[in-house]
Amino acid sequence: MIGSYGWGLFVALPFCLGLFSVLLHSYHQPRSFSECIAVSVLPIFILGFVLLVVAAEGVICIAMAAPIALMLALLGGWLGFVIQGIHWGRNNRTAFLSVAILLTPSFFSVEHFVRPQPGVFVVKSSIEVNAAPEKVWQQVVAFSEIPPPQEKIFRSGIAYPIRAEIAGHGPGAVRHCVFSTGPFVEPITVWDEPHLLRFKVTANPAPLNELTPYKHIEPPHLHGYFESHQGQFLLTQLPNGHTRLEGTTWYSHSMWPEQYWHLWSDYIIHNIHLRVLRHIKVQTEADPVQAVAARVSESTR
């Protein structure tokens, strides 16, 4: 199960835990709806605590999985309540419990042989900068160090951008967007100054540092389960002389249900975009003397 982050883990397991816990709790006599609902979510909290204690997962990932896990455990608990209220005869109690136990490994077995291919998602974010595209471009290609984050999402351990560096000029130049967990390696594919900078991504750092009581843990999903494939910055001159700066990321992740997990990843990537775009805006609109002084200060570190 470890290393497989799909329908079996995030759908079948919590549903079956909720179902099994209610059927087991009501084995000798029917229970009330409120009691069944309370019992159905208890295994989810226990499982989350165990994963944290044995260093299998961190707080962030457990918290991200909690909404779907609790919802499906409640659904399983509701089904358990219906079963024990209608079909809970002495002769079929063991049969229902056996089915509940076998459902989860059956899901994992099917998923092992029928692996879905991850889709590609696109996230776009934009900001208006009070400057011409030519001036904005200089900050887009490579930008200075961004101050430490104030956003809770980044302070909790999610990887965040720190600075961008570039070696070379034009197509073929290699840009490094340095994050708190390491650099994204971004060879430039389109250099249309000062309108479009597009790059592919050939190396991805870990998406987060796990929040854990231990010094460091390495769950499998930190490597290879979230992949950024391509990105770009599009600069559009507006009638008022300002520039609309739009950042786009193409990415995929190997976690299912995709419809659930891409809501989290879209939210995180959008916040990453905004952190970069706002910094570029501030640096571009800054007083020229102050901007030069800041660059000189950085180069002497």
Query: Structural domain tally of the chain?
Result: 2
DSSP codes joined into one string, 22-48: HHHHTSSS---HHHHHHHHHHHHHHHH
- 129 lies in some domain: yes
Does the N-terminal peptide bond of residue 194 adopt cis geometry, omega within 30 degrees of 0? yes
Give the model's pLDDT for residue 231.
Answer: 98
Distance CA 273, CA 296 (A): 26
Position 177 pLDDT exceeds 80: yes
Confidence of residue 297 (pLDDT cuts 50, 70, 90): very low
State the average pLDDT over residues 27-50: 94
The answer as to whether 1 is a domain residue is no
Same-domain pairing of 109 and 125: no
Question: Residue 129 in contact with residue 245, Cβ under 8 Å?
Answer: yes
The verdict on 206 and 101 lying in the same domain is no
3-state secondary structure of 249: strand
- Determine the pLDDT at residue 112: 66
Q: Are residues 100 and 181 in the same domain?
A: no
- Which range, of 8-17, 187-196, 281-290, averages the lowest pLDDT? 281-290
- For residue 184, the domain's CATH number is 3.30.530.20
Does the pLDDT value for residue 288 go beyond 80? Answer: no
Give pLDDT, residue 301.
Answer: 46
Binned at pLDDT 50, 70 and 90, residue 115 comes out as confident
Residue 283 is assigned to a structural domain of this protein? yes
Give yes or no: residues 138 and 201 share one domain. yes
> Which amino acid type is present at position 158?
I
Collapsing DSSP to helix, strand or coil, 160 comes out as coil
What is the pLDDT at residue 97? 75
Domain containing 247 equals 121-299
Report CA 113 to chain centroid distance, whole Å.
Answer: 25
Per-residue pLDDT averaged across 62-76, rounded?
97
Looking at the fold, whether 100 and 58 belong to one and the same domain comes out as yes
Neighbours of 34 (CB within 10 A): 9
Cα–Cα dist 275/245, whole Å:
13
Is the pLDDT at 289 greater than 60? The verdict is no
- Note the pLDDT tens digit of each residue in 140-174: 999 999 999 999 999 999 999 999 999 999 999 99
Residue 265 lies in a domain: yes
Same domain, residue pair 19 and 139: no
Residues 198 and 224 in one domain: yes
Interval 277-289 mean pLDDT: 86
Integer Cα distance of 212 and 210 in angstroms? 6
**Is 179 in a helix, a strand, or coil?**
strand
Tell me whether residue 246 is exposed, middle or buried, using C-beta atoms within 10 angstroms of its C-beta: 0 to 12, 13 to 18, 19 or more. middle
Do 109 and 141 lie in a common domain? Answer: no
Q: Mean per-residue pLDDT for 278-292? A: 77
Query: Within 92-217, where are the H helices?
Result: 93-113, 133-141, 152-155
Structure tokens at 88: 């809970």
* Residue where a domain stops, chosen among 53, 86, 113: 113
More confident residue, 274 or 103: 274
Tell me whether the omega of the peptide bond preceding residue 105 falls within 30 degrees of 0, making it cis: no
Asked whether residue 296 carries a pLDDT value surpassing 70, the answer given is no
Mean pLDDT of 11-40: 92
Residue identified by tokens 């060879």 is 187
- Cα separation of 26 and 32, whole Å? 9
Residue 2 lies in a domain: no
* Residue 290 included in any domain: yes
